[in-house]
Structure 1
């Protein structure tokens, strides 16, 4: 495994994305980690913070096809997957591709669609394929979904089921820019949108390399036991009704491997686990209290678990 290739991948992606997005390096790093592991990201933020701009910038940077889907209550599963229609000229049924056949998909306000439509994402997110009228179609690689939802406005929405939340690799929040970042944003966009002239920075060969080799990063027995301790703690915590699934265990390990690789390490350290535990685990738990049980409280519960579970260093 050539760690230099991971370093170059991260630097080229960060530099190109930073031509459009001001700041948010810590969020972009985690999105890069999710992309490398072929995971998917749930962005939970109020409107206007640049979620769509970030997705478009990422797709141009990676030289990937991009589609944005505005989720609404009347959206049908076939609007996502595509349909077979009868061509009167050729007198044959032909397949008209839906937006899920793109490489990077933005599912905007995903919680506004009905559960039936939301479930259309389940197969493609996990199996990397769609099934239309009994025919299975493999999705293009890389395939990356970024879904957004507004955590404040809940009127007319359908909360995501636990089965679908568990398929998101991370839940992130961009948050408001700082004072200086907002000034720089106005300076950058005062003339024209820098996204219009943005060029790709990553080749498909570079994408294939990082996605196929990140799992060669070493994870020690102590780190693996620590990851399992964290996940098990969510299943016995008094504030949690439903703890993390084994998928959380595997995703936390994979995320730490990718994070270590882009930071030029061929081994995972304790700080990698602590950095990724909240974004990878917090959306996979259900709290017992229905009051104030939003993302902030679930993140606080995971942070409390991190503070109480004994680390490999503490055992020495």
Structure 2
């Protein structure tokens, strides 16, 4: 099979697999395309001729990237060859490909004061601002992924019992409570804005003023505009609102297992990154306030 056809088949497969993982799909397509361009430059015209040493040669050619980026590209290549092996019974040359990730960076999050400043900046009397406020409030208050927010359907949100059934990655469902303080803005949007905008009869919870679904890029642009308006120096994204949700729960002494369930993490190790945020905060407090600590001594260790 020629390289172009192999890429086309793979693209069709993963684009239809999980619409909520659009960002991952986009990155995988970019990574596999770059890999196939490398193979083409090396004279390959048939994907079945690729051997492990060829993949290894490609990985060595991109060693200027960070370890995490190389790990993601390696995952994309494995996914590509696994698909061809499963669908066409081609030999899988990526079986021995190792994925070595670097140390995970601590998640960036907003303080409670910054969250309050962000949410208070909207004029809820204006329909569009009410809509945008409700959207960002839902992401933060329930720890949603931005893709989960834009695909949220009416039947999954119960504003009477303050519960939302979130359909996450891999179509795994989790139930998340809606805080009482967040319910007011969600009700305001739902009762006053959505009925006017939803002329097309969409079953999505969030629709724009044309009655159409919103995109993850739109949510990102709204948040970026607001943060610039407020003069935030942090690079705040919708996913960092989710980080803020988890961090604030941990700071409030929430159980780590409970946070795992609320975030929809399959592995507790993914959730444990937030304990390092807490530990880092404690170290900073110690370095700043402990009477026996010399000024500046601990700067390199925090």
Q: TM-score range by the shorter chain?
A: under 0.3
Larger radius of gyration: 2
TM-score computed with the length of structure 2 as normaliser: 0.24
Q: Which has the higher contact order (CA 8 A, sep 6+)?
A: 1
Task: Give the strand-richer structure, 1 or 2.
Answer: 1
TM norm structure 1: 0.23
